[in-house]
Amino acid sequence: MERRNSLATGRFLITLLLLLTLARPLHAQDAAGAYTVAPGDTLGAIATKFGVPLDALIVANAIDDPNRIRVGQVLVIPNADGSLPVAALAATTATGVVRAAAGDTLATLAARYALDPALVAELNGAPGTRRLFPGQPVRVPADVVPPMTVTLGAITALDAPAEIVQGRTGRVDVISSRPLNLIGRWNGQPLTFIPLGEDGLHHFAFVPVDALLEPSVYPLEIGYITARGVEIVRSWPVTVVAGPYDYQEIVVAQEKADVLTPDVVVAERERVVAIWSQISPTLWWRDVFQRPISVDYPTTSPFGTRRTYSVADIGNFHAGQDFGAPEGTLIFAPAPGVVVLAEPLAVRGNAVIIDHGQGVFTGYWHMSEMKVTPGTRVETGDVLGLVGNTGLSTGAHLHWELRIDGVAVDPMQFLDEAPF
C-alpha cells in the first residue's frame, strides 16, 4: 500500500513536471539553426551565408517559389548534410494543442498526426517514449489541428482517409494553388492522380489496399516536384484494418492440374500484369459501375477469400468476385473503356480485360465465348462475352476482377460508390 502511494506520488510529480515543461515559453527567432529573412536577402545568398546547399534550404522550408521569400519570414537552416536541426524546427513552428488518447505516448501521438516524433518531443520538452494521460494536452505544430488538413507549399488542402479496410479502395483529394506535378506513394507504390474539373487545381488518387496487406499503419506520401526538380513530399499515416474474409481450400481436377505447370502459371501472370501496368491517360468512365451480370446471378464466391489450391502457386486469395450462372449467360461492360486483352489463357480461360483509364482495369475470366477483340471501345452495358467454365474453373461462372494501379481490390465497392 505504502509503495503504491509513493508510486502514485511519483507519477503526480512527473505529470506536474511535464505540465510545467509544456508551459515553458518558446522563443521564436533566437534558436540556433533558424534565420529571419532581412530586406535584400535572397535564398541563394542565405544558403551561401550558412554554407548549406540551396536545394536543402528549399526542401527544409517547403518553399514553392524560391524567388518569393518575404522579409520577416523565419527559415529553418538545415545542417550541412541536409538534415534538419530539431531545435530550429520547434522554434519556427507556431503551436496548437491536441489531447492525448488512452495509451498514448508522445511518439504514438506524433504518428497519428503524421508529425516528426523528434519535433513533438522537442515541442513538449520530453522524450517520445513519455507516456501520456488520457486528455493530457500536447503541443503540436498549429497547422495539424484539425488533423489531415495541411498545407504543403503549393498544396493548399489535402483530404486523406485515416483508415482503409484490406482489399478496399480509399481516396485522397489534393487541392493546389496552381497546377502541379503531383507525386504520391502508398506503402511505397506510386499513385495515379486523376484531374477533377478543368482548372487543374483539384486531383484525386485511388489508394488501393492489397487484400493481404497486414493490418498496421502505413505511410501515404503526397507531394510534388517543383519546377527546379526538387521533390516536396510529406507522409501521412493510414491505418489498414482487417477485412471480413473467409478461408477456402480449392481442389483442382487432375486433368486441369496437369496443364498448370509453374512455368505456365508464371508466364500467364506476367502477361496480365504487363497489361494492367500500362497506365493510359484517357479516363473513359465517371459513373458508378453497373453489374457485369444480371442480378438473377448472385455472388457465389466473394472477393478476398483466402485460398489454398491443390496445384501450383495460383495465388493465395481470391482476387475477384464470382457469380455462378449457366454457360452462355451474357456478360456486360460495367463502365466505358477499351478492350486491351481478349484471348484464351490457361488459368483464367477465355479472358477479357478492359482499360477504363488512369490505371483502372476490369477483368472477366472463364468465358465460353468472347464477343470483343483488343481495341474495341465499349460502353456501359455492351456485351463482352458469355459465361463459361474455361481455364481453372470448377463450374460455369463469371470471375470479375478490378485492378487499380495493379492491385486487386473489391469490385463490388464500385457498384455503390461513384468516384467523381
Min dist CB 400 to Zn ion, Å, is: 8
On the 0-12 / 13-18 / 19+ scale of CB atoms within 10 A, 154 is middle
Nearer to Zn ion, 328 or 395 (CB): 395
349-388 binders of Zn ion (CB under 5 A): none
292-331 binders of Zn ion (CB under 5 A): 320, 322
Min dist CB 171 to Zn ion, Å, is: 26
Residue of 130, 348, 356, 399 that binds Zn ion (CB under 5 A): 399
Nearer to Zn ion, 57 or 398 (CB): 398
Closest C-alpha among 300, 271, 290 to residue 411? 290
Closest C-alpha among 406, 407, 296, 319 to residue 365? 319
Residue 156 to residues 33, 63, 171, 346, Cα–Cα distance (Å): 27, 13, 17, 49
CB 305 within 8 A of CB 316: no
The rounded distance, in Å, linking the Cα atoms of 340 and 352 is 8
Residues 51-90, one symbol each (x = binds Zn ion by CB under 5 A, - = not), give ----------------------------------------
Q: Taking CB positions, which residue lies at the least distance from Zn ion?
A: 399
The rounded distance, in Å, linking the Cα atoms of 320 and 399 is 6
Please state the φ and ψ torsions of residue 68, each to the nearest 5 degrees. -120, 85
Min dist CB 376 to Zn ion, Å, is: 23
Nearer to Zn ion, 114 or 398 (CB): 398
Min dist CB 358 to Zn ion, Å, is: 25
- Position of cell 548534410? 81
Which amino acid appears at position 74 of this protein?
Answer: V
Residues paired with residue 402 on neighbouring β-strands, in sequence order: 362, 409
Question: Is 122 a binder of Zn ion (CB under 5 A)?
Answer: no
Min dist CB 279 to Zn ion, Å, is: 25
CB 323 within 8 A of CB 300: yes
Min dist CB 344 to Zn ion, Å, is: 17
Nearer to Zn ion, 58 or 408 (CB): 408
228-247 binders of Zn ion (CB under 5 A): none
Footprint on this chain of Zn ion (rule: CB under 5 A): 320, 322, 399
